[in-house]
Chains A and B, each alone.
Chain A
Amino acid sequence: MTLLPLLKGRSARAWAGFAAAALALFAVAPLALSDFRLGLLAKYLCTAMVAVGICLAWGRGGLLTLGQGVFFGLGGYAMAMHLKIADAGPGNLPDFMQLYGTATELPWWWRPFENPLFALAATVLLPMAVAAILGSFIFRRRVKGAYFAILSQALAAAFAIWLIGQQATTGGTNGLTDIQGFFGYDLNDPVNQRMVYFIIAAALLLLIALARQLIHSRYGELLVAVRDSEERVRFLGYNPANVKLVAYVVAAGMAGLAGALFVPAVGIISPAMIGIVPSIEFVIGAAVGGRASLVGAVLGAVGVAWAKTALSEEFPAAWTYFQGLLFIVALAFLPGGLASLVGIVRRRRSSRATGGTAGDGTGEKTPALPLGEAA
């Protein structure tokens, strides 16, 4: 009986936060920011979409995936391939293929991407399929912890190297560049750029709502349980492999969608955006903001991406030092990220008020972090 009002309160607060975020993204930002700044924000929001998936897989599920770049890349390339074909016009080859002169017609695996519906579906389903295949192999055999992190990182490295190697069909190191149109709209037009921004903002809100729904479902509880004690969950009759697989696949789909929307926002996708370094950078934002908190992960991702632009333009060297330091401080000394500060402050205050070890009074306990995850 006492829980009910608390639940209502939590849900009401979440809706209020959601509405405020929507207001900020759809009304305040477009009015307050120049076209250029809005374009940058669109880019940051794509990073935040990846962070939502990371919050689910890593923060909730304890799966440190250092290969989100792969899924981001799969989504991005699927979208970019279609846009390149559309830019070239019917019967023509994309510009870079003409340049290398090796291909006289579209390679067979480009052909399906001529179809816009196939390409759109592939941006999300392709990464999910790859994650499902890989994940089912990895999780079923109980490969976990550090093993999983290293394998996912090796995957990112191998994928980037493979893309670079297939120069004639993937554009190699340059990637797919100079994308002009987006389903018939000219991307050079600022109005259409703003439309892309709105699509990205809407997609981000959608993903946050989806992730929140998952986290607060029975499945979400199971995911945290698997993270904290996989054996106990197994003894209760669940298969932890499937629980982890769902989180991994959903996170992959989110990264794929982010990659797909990143392409019209920035106009390019290349191996440099999906290799080891960007894959880890996706994790940084979530870690600094708070891996287990959706709001923390999203704000962290946007904040770190913004800091990178702001600092690295003027002081590229200083940014690298700062980035390293940020990582060290956030993970070594504040493992819950900035989001955990809220809980710490709130607990301090309430324990001072009641003079005991009371909770934070919201009914929502800050989940313990997977600190003792065995390798």
Chain B
Amino acid sequence: MTVILGQTFTGISIGAVLLLIALGLSLTFGQMNVINMAHGEFIMAGAYTTYVLQKSISSAGLSLLVALPVAFLVAGALGALLEWVLIRRLYLRPLDTLLVTWGVSLMLQQAARDIFGAPNVQTRAPDLLTGNITVIGGDDPLTFANSRLFILGLAITAVVALSLTLRLTPLGRRIRGVVQIRDLAEVSGISTSRVDRTAFFLGSGLAGVAGVALTLVGPIGPTMGTNIIIDAFLVIVVGGIGQLKGTVIVAFVLGVLQSVLEYSTTVSVAKVLVLVAIVAFLQWRPQGLYTLRTRSLV
């Protein structure tokens, strides 16, 4: 029993990491229709920001707290810059954004290698987050890692913040307007190019926050973004493009599925099985779990 609960919790914590990464993507990919392969490198930028801040701030807890907003700004600025230089030329060619931003991601990885060195680096976690909480005691105890709980909390906070921003603020209304009918938004006096850039800033900034969270569970390295980004893209595809609700549900479902399959088979077989499950799922709902109802033929 504890094994099942333990695996489920591990799955939920994998899901929380996925969710944090996919959140930013749901803005840039889901809303803007841009497949940003450099999103993984924005995560890396967030992680290295934490590393750099810890060099100057000795208290691990304080540096983590400072890192969250700073990483958001650093990654967000990178995203806005990328949008301004390249992506705004490519809004009508989503597939090309994938390849162009992959070129950007290559260069950013190499830049990280040149600045910080090729080997992975590590940050110290604050004392508060290094321990475990024992949920069930006795001979067969069930413990949750504090760092994982922190990430779960961070993911939930980010989801709430993003969804409130999109729902309640004027900026959110403008973003939704531009996403739904770009031309109408433009003639209504909304500067669509400014909204695009702001949405990109927010989405990329969330990647930076995800990067801070990742420093708690693994090493920081130039290629840390590459593999995890694919999983996050799958989350969006399965959840339904531009659907926050779908993203949240699917992130946790895939996390738990991965964790349970890993327990009963091996890590590599679990990866393959999850992919098979995704292709099977898309047979049932080709547009993802939640879709915007439209009259389009596709």
Contacts and interface: CB of A to CB of B under 8 A. Distances in A.
Contacts of B275: 154-155, 158
Interface residues of B, number: 48
Contacts, number: 142
For chain B, what secondary structure do more than half of its interface residues adopt (helix, strand, loop), or is it mixed? helix
Given A149-B35, A320-B106, A287 B268 contact: no
Contacts of A372: 92-93
A373 interface: yes
A324 B94 contact: no
A335 B96 contact: yes
Interface string B95-116: 1101110111111011001100
A331 B230 contact: no
A373 B230 contact: no
A331 B104 CA distance: 12
Interface stretch (A136-144, A190-198, A248-256): A136-144
B106 A231 contact: no
A328 B100 CA distance: 5
Interface stretch (B155-163, B188-196, B278-286): B278-286
A181 B231 CA distance: 40
Contacts of B94: 145-146, 373-375
Contacts of B297: 231
A231 B298 CA distance: 8
A143 B89 contact: no
A147 B278 CA distance: 12
Contacts of B114: 317
A149 B99 CA distance: 10
Given A138-B279, A149-B98, A324 B107 contact: yes
B212 interface: no
Given A137-B279, A142-B286, A164-B268, A327 B241 contact: no
Given A328-B103, A371-B96, A375-B94, 16 more contacts: A64-B98, A137-B279, A141-B282, A146-B94, A151-B234, A154-B233, A157-B227, A157-B230, A161-B268, A317-B110, A324-B106, A326-B103, A331-B96, A331-B103, A371-B93, A375-B241
20 contacts: A64-B95, A64-B99, A141-B283, A143-B286, A153-B233, A154-B233, A162-B268, A276-B227, A317-B114, A324-B110, A325-B107, A327-B102, A331-B99, A331-B103, A332-B96, A371-B92, A373-B95, A375-B33, A375-B95, A375-B241
Interface of B: 29, 33, 35, 86, 89-90, 92-96, 98-100, 102-107, 109-110, 113-114, 226-227, 230-231, 233-234, 237, 241, 266-269, 271-272, 274-275, 278-280, 282-283, 286, 297-298
